Structure 1
């Protein structure tokens, strides 16, 4: 019995030693099915350009991991350097927040197949993109129709389609505003405001600003939104 207890204790000790706990507040893991060789870069936007936070070399094993300290929830980017071929499908945006996140995808459809888990902001952003994509598709369809009407010199039809496009844009702005107002407890609210509707009327920006929680107001994007609104008011816009 005693020997059995010692053996069990030794086994548990080995397990605990093997499970190394990270001293960083953000851990990203993932797998890119089909990738045998390449380089991954985790990037962030700094002064309007993407800069690398971490570099991961893939050589045989398609799994990857990275850890670093994250001061505030932030939109980061997982960029794949394929080495041999160039592709537009090489950058996955993900809304990072403190804790553990995971990205599962494939080499063939790197962006389209991406499944991102572990972030509430990412979950909400996915919900937002799903709805907004409908407005984007509608606008593309209208743009195609307008081009054909322009080629056929149908000026009245071009003007009509212009008005339809304005309606689509208005609905997109309204949805984004409501989304930001309804999710003021999450950093995704000021992010989509700055990224999608920065030029909206100030009264709507004021409403979004007032609905941000104190925590979100002190986040990276919360501070940027506050500064942006202050600057617009200063300029009388």
Structure 2
């Protein structure tokens, strides 16, 4: 009888630990060259960027954050360092349950960040790279518009800008349709695709598996569609 009770307790404890592991994100890494500063783990809550954990760094440049997480979502690492410089101090990453490693340097905190361990972040990084290309094209066209000598040139540049706008939206919608098993798909739909026809957003939602549709961004996408 006693052995049966002990076995039952072990099963319950193992089940509890397993559930915690499946719902826990561990973010660790190092910030090369950092001697002093405060590192914050942040996320958007009720449309507000919120600090959910913090760590004082004094000499040891390594860090670990452990955070309960229901489904993959966007998180930020914000470094408040004693250099009176607010530029290049925030890293954005797609968090998910499991271990995520982020290594970077104190003086190029965002640009030098190496992020591994998150499958959703790998997909998100691909999306970010393409958005950067569209943004660069917008900047190039804006510079051409400023340099345009007559109305014909300006009209031509405006046509190219409009084409870039539609190409961007086609990419966003196609990205959502071709990456339905990742939580990045509904995220890009609700952040960058809200000006699209609700029919297209609904098309993205319909190809999401339940595991994604029931996640944070899947639910928000459904709410966005229902409002329209």
Please indicate, yes or no, whether the TM-score normalized by the shorter chain is above 0.5: yes
Q: Deviations over 1:110-169 (max 9, x none)?
A: 1111111111110000111122211111111001111222xx4x2221221111011011
Q: TM-score, normalised by structure 2?
A: 0.88
Structure 2 residue 213 is matched with structure 1 residue 217: yes
User: CA shift at 1:191, angstroms?
Assistant: 0.4
Corresponding pairs, count: 208
Query: What SS does structure 2 have at the residue aligned with 1:113?
Result: coil
Q: Deviations over 1:31-56 (max 9, x none)?
A: 11111100000001122221111001
Structure 2 residue 161 is matched with structure 1 residue 162: no
Counterpart Cα distance in 2 of 1:109 and 1:148: 33
User: CA shift at 1:200, angstroms?
Assistant: 0.6
Counterpart Cα distance in 1 of 2:194 and 2:152: 31
Query: What SS does structure 2 have at the residue aligned with 1:26?
Result: strand
Structure 1 stretch 89-98 or stretch 202-211: which is displaced more? 202-211
Counterpart Cα distance in 2 of 1:206 and 1:228: 9
Counterpart Cα distance in 1 of 2:49 and 2:30: 23
Which residue is 2:85 aligned to? 86
Query: What SS does structure 2 have at the residue aligned with 1:208?
Result: helix
Which residue is 2:9 aligned to? none
Q: What CA RMSD, in Å, does the superposition of the two structures yield over aligned residues? A: 1.4
Which residue is 2:147 aligned to? 148
Q: Which runs of 5+ in 1 are unaligned?
A: 1-20, 233-237
Which residue is 2:100 aligned to? 101
User: CA shift at 1:197, angstroms?
Assistant: 1.2
1:174 to 170, 173, 178: 170
User: CA shift at 1:60, angstroms?
Assistant: 0.1
Query: What SS does structure 2 have at the residue aligned with 1:116?
Result: strand
Which residue is 2:13 aligned to? none
Structure 2 residue 41 is matched with structure 1 residue 42: yes
User: CA shift at 1:71, angstroms?
Assistant: 1.4
Q: Which runs of 5+ in 2 are unaligned?
A: 1-17
User: CA shift at 1:59, angstroms?
Assistant: 0.4
Which residue is 1:208 aligned to? 204
Runs of 4+ in structure 1 off by over 4 angstroms are none
User: CA shift at 1:203, angstroms?
Assistant: 1.9
